[in-house]
């Protein structure tokens, strides 16, 4: 019988360039939960407690904000992106 390990994207998000690529792919999806999940994966990779401290959010609040189905506020997105060392940019549609 074949056994598979559970894939965890946070195991591979070890640089700002990897984080930026991962978020760029996630933001292309029409489902906002994909982007929120990507932010959660990255925060997990960096350490949820550290991101919570840098953003000024409580750790539990950050977990709630980054769970599927949350109504993530723009201000929170900006704080998390800044703590992760990346920024959101806009480009013309292709």
Domains, the chain, ordered by start: 16-84 (1.10.260)
Q: Mean pLDDT over residues 34-38, rounded?
A: 94
Structure tokens at 14: 């070890």
pLDDT value for 14: 86
CA 47 to chain centre: 12
pLDDT single digits (tens) 44-78:
999 999 999 999 999 999 999 999 899 999 999 99
Q: Are 43 and 11 in contact (CB under 8 A)?
A: no
pLDDT-above-90 percentage for the chain: 65
Average pLDDT of the residues of the chain: 91
Separation of alpha carbons 15 and 17, rounded Å: 5
pTM, rounded to two decimals: 0.84
Q: Quick check: helix, strand or coil at residue 71?
A: coil
């Amino acid at each position: 019988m074949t056994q598979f390990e559970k894939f965890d994207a946070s195991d591979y998000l070890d640089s700002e360039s990897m984080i930026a690529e991962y978020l760029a792919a996630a933001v292309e999806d029409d489902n906002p939960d994909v982007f929120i999940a990507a932010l959660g994966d990255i925060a997990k990779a960096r350490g949820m407690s550290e991101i919570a401290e840098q953003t000024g959010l409580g750790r539990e609040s950050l977990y709630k904000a980054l769970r599927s189905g949350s109504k993530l506020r723009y201000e929170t997105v900006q704080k998390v992106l800044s703590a992760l060392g990346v920024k959101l940019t806009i480009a013309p549609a292709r």
